[in-house]
């Protein structure tokens, strides 16, 4: 049984897919404004993305959660979202003050506009919930079989249908319970705003502490898309781009840390390196510092010292919380479409309030970070990159995603046959491995990995930087090669290539109690199957689809089971896979 952390992490990863479109939305919206290029249609193009964020979350979260990231899940998420939001509108009770000034001919327009504005307040939560439902429905029903006269609607085509039915339930909940939802969101907003500096400090602190688990994305979504309301735009980020001068409290404090503090920490780590290795690590630290300064991507830096000096990371989290409070007390309100880097600072300068205050605050933070890191590295002799004379040379990341580097990563992760599933978020590989003990951490570090997180249950994360998604794609290509998984697995079992034992399906089932596996035509039912087994079975050429029902795994084959499975000696059958 997976831990609660392992269950929540896919949501954090899935949220990054729709969030990835925000930079282009912010770019178009700003370039089209009167104080920049004054091109209305470009501004309207960017605004369209913000106006339909709920729809994007519905599709993106569904794809992020679905096995194989299949597009049918996105369609199901969209169907669920549209049914839920449009179906809820007729259930809303319009207050009399919303119709002030309406005539008989305009009354319907007033009613429609009011209902659309109210539902828009819950668009992002509704989108996330629709995506969660659609992703779960895809994983459960994408391989469903129906009677022959309904065969057209079987499999993946069934998922959008059942998602629409689920959307009806959401419509009833949103429409009938809208006053409760609205009151809950308003109460959350008022509580956070009333918390003042304490609330901002806790947000900044938890944002960094939750970075280890990847759950900080969930916290960010609450602050950026729910807190506050400005002419129908909800959330700190959306309100900032809608022109709310009070918005930006949950973004401003990141700028001193990401543009000044962490780059200064990189300088401290470089200067603390052994003289004989400074030239080797100069490119590494320069790359990390520029990435943080320009784009606001900081995880590669943070994971460099997180495990070596947890107390230093805790100080970093406290400083982030203090930066939130400091910028708010000074009245500086900054915002971003991607992260708190120089690009976003310059692009959104015209929307910011007192943006020049970032410079003195940032200078102070640079001095603080440089001093704290320089002292801590020497005081505790932290073995950061460049301070270990016997460490392997760090390979450059310029070939990120290339075949050779992907093969090296696969080997360091225990071989292609050890990788049950491969995914990625902004800066991390999110993996499920059969045996975490086979992972070679020093080899990963030599390849440029900044950290390895073993979350239990075979769930592993490897911090590699912004090239994570490219590297994940290259790793999938490596594991799909016929020789990648089979050769390694067969070598460990003494099986020669070309033998009958090289059949993928039979190899995966070899360790199961075959007497407990139910065979029915082209379907196998494996009771109490391990979580990782479905991912491995999906890669078999003999398998058409896999569906999990409770703890049982239903495997749909391309041919009858009797033609594909070899008889197994009962004495050689292993115990069931738990």
Which of the two residues, 478 and 541, has the higher pLDDT score?
478
Instruction: Name the CATH superfamily, with its identifier, for domain 403-484.
Output: Glucose permease domain IIB (3.30.1360.60)
Most confident of 78-87, 100-109, 551-560: 78-87
Structure tokens at 302: 């943070």
Q: What share of the chain is helix, strand, coil (3-state, %, to 5)?
A: 60, 10, 30
Q: What is the pLDDT of residues 266-309, one digit of tens each?
A: 999 999 999 988 988 898 899 999 999 999 999 889 988 887 88
Q: Where in the chain is the domain with CATH 3.30.1360.60?
A: 403-484, 503-572
Which of the two residues, 248 and 407, has the higher pLDDT score?
248
DSSP state of 256: I
Structure tokens at 59: 């599709």
Helix axis angle, 71-88 to 123-141, nearest 10°: 130
Confidence of residue 492 (pLDDT cuts 50, 70, 90): very low
Instruction: Say what the pLDDT of residue 502 is.
Output: 36
Which of the two residues, 569 and 102, has the higher pLDDT score?
102
Mean pLDDT of the chain: 84
Average pLDDT for 551-570:
66
CA–CA–CA angle 448, 451, 454 (5° rounding): 135
Instruction: Say what the pLDDT of residue 123 is.
Output: 92
503-572 maps to which CATH number?
3.30.1360.60
Does residue 388 have a pLDDT over 80? no
Which residues, at least 6 apart from 267, have a Cβ–Cβ distance to it below 8 Å? Answer: 285, 289, 370
Structure tokens at 213: 């688990």
Structure tokens at 89: 């509108």
Lowest mean pLDDT among 105-109, 168-172, 203-207, 527-531: 527-531
Structure tokens at 395: 């390979």
Instruction: Say what the pLDDT of residue 359 is.
Output: 98
Does residue 483 have a pLDDT over 60? no
Which residues, at least 6 apart from 113, have a Cβ–Cβ distance to it below 8 Å? Answer: none
Instruction: Say what the pLDDT of residue 391 is.
Output: 55
Instruction: Say what the pLDDT of residue 426 is.
Output: 76
Task: Clarify whether 425 is annotated catalytic.
Answer: yes
Strand intervals (E) in 112-185: none
Does residue 500 have a pLDDT over 80? no
Which of the two residues, 77 and 412, has the higher pLDDT score?
77
Lowest mean pLDDT among 242-246, 423-427, 505-509: 505-509
How far apart are the C-alpha atoms of 454 and 475, rounded to whole Å? 19
- Count other C-beta atoms under 10 Å from residue 226's C-beta: 21
Confidence of residue 486 (pLDDT cuts 50, 70, 90): very low
Residue 455 near residue 8, CB atoms below 8 Å: no
How far apart are the C-alpha atoms of 351 and 333, rounded to whole Å? 9
Per the listing, tokens 């109490």 go with 528
Q: What is the pLDDT of residues 337-366, one digit of tens each?
A: 999 999 999 999 999 999 999 999 999 999
Structure tokens at 577: 């896979």
Residue 319, SS3?
helix
**HEC profile of 484-533:** HHHHHHHHHHCCCCCCHHHCHHHHHHCCCCHHHCEEECCEEEECCCCCCH
Instruction: Read off the pTM.
Output: 0.72
- Count other C-beta atoms under 10 Å from residue 189's C-beta: 18
Structure tokens at 533: 């087994």
């Amino acid at each position: 049984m997976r831990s609660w952390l392992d269950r929540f992490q896919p949501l954090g990863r899935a949220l990054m897919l729709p969030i990835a479109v925000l930079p282009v939305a912010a770019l178009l919206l700003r370039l089209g404004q009167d104080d920049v290029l004054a091109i209305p249609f470009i501004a309207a193009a960017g605004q369209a993305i913000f106006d339909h964020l709920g729809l994007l979350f519905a599709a993106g979260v569904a794809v992020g959660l679905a096995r194989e990231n299949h597009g049918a899940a996105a369609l199901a998420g969209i169907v669920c979202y549209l049914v839920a939001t449009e179906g809820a509108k007729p259930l809303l009770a319009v207050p009399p003050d919303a119709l002030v000034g309406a005539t008989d001919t305009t009354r319907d327009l007033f009613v429609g506009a009011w209902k659309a504005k109210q539902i828009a307040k819950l668009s992002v939560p509704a989108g996330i919930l629709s995506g969660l439902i659609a992703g779960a429905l895809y994983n459960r029903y994408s391989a469903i079989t129906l009677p022959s006269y309904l065969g057209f609607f079987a499999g993946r085509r069934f998922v959008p249908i059942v998602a629409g039915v689920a959307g009806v339930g959401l419509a009833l909940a949103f429409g009938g319970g809208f006053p409760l939802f609205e009151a809950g969101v308003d109460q959350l907003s008022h509580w956070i705003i009333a918390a003042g500096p304490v609330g901002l400090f806790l947000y900044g602190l938890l944002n960094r502490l939750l970075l280890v688990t990847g759950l900080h994305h969930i916290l960010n979504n609450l602050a950026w898309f729910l807190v506050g309301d400005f002419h129908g735009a909800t959330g700190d980020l959306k309100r900032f781009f809608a022109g709310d001068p009070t918005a930006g409290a949950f973004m401003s404090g990141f700028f001193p840390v990401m543009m000044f503090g962490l780059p200064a920490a990189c300088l401290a780590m470089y200067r603390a390196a052994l003289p004989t290795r400074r030239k080797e690590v100069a490119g590494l630290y320069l790359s990390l510092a520029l990435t943080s300064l320009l784009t606001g991507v900081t995880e590669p830096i943070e994971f460099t010292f997180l495990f070596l000096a947890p107390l230093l990371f805790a100080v970093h989290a406290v400083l982030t919380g203090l930066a939130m409070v400091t910028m708010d007390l000074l009245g500086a309100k900054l915002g971003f479409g991607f992260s708190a880097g120089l690009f976003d600072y310059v692009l959104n300068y015209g929307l910011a309030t007192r943006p020049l205050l970032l410079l003195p605050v940032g200078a102070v933070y640079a001095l603080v970070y440089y001093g704290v890191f320089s002292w801590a590295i020497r005081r505790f002799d932290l073995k950061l990159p460049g301070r270990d004379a016997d460490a392997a040379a760090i390979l450059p990341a310029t070939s990120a995603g290339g075949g050779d580097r992907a093969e090296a990563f696969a080997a360091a992760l225990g071989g292609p046959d050890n990788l049950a599933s491969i995914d990625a978020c902004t800066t991390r590989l999110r993996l499920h491995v059969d045996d975490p003990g086979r992972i070679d951490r020093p080899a990963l570090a030599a390849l440029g990995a900044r950290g390895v997180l073993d979350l239990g249950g075979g769930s592993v994360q490897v911090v590699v930087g912004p090239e994570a998604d490219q590297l994940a794609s290259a790793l999938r290509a490596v594991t799909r090669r016929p020789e990648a998984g089979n050769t390694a697995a067969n070598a460990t079992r003494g099986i020669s290539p070309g033998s009958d034992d090289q059949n993928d399906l039979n190899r995966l089932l070899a360790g199961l109690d075959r007497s407990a596996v139910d065979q029915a035509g082209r379907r196998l039912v494996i009771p109490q199957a391990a979580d990782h087994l479905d991912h491995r079975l999906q890669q078999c050429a003999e398998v058409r689809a896999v569906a999990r029902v409770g703890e049982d795994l239903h495997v749909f084959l391309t041919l009858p089971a009797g033609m594909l499975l070899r008889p197994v000696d009962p004495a050689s059958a292993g115990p069931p896979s738990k």
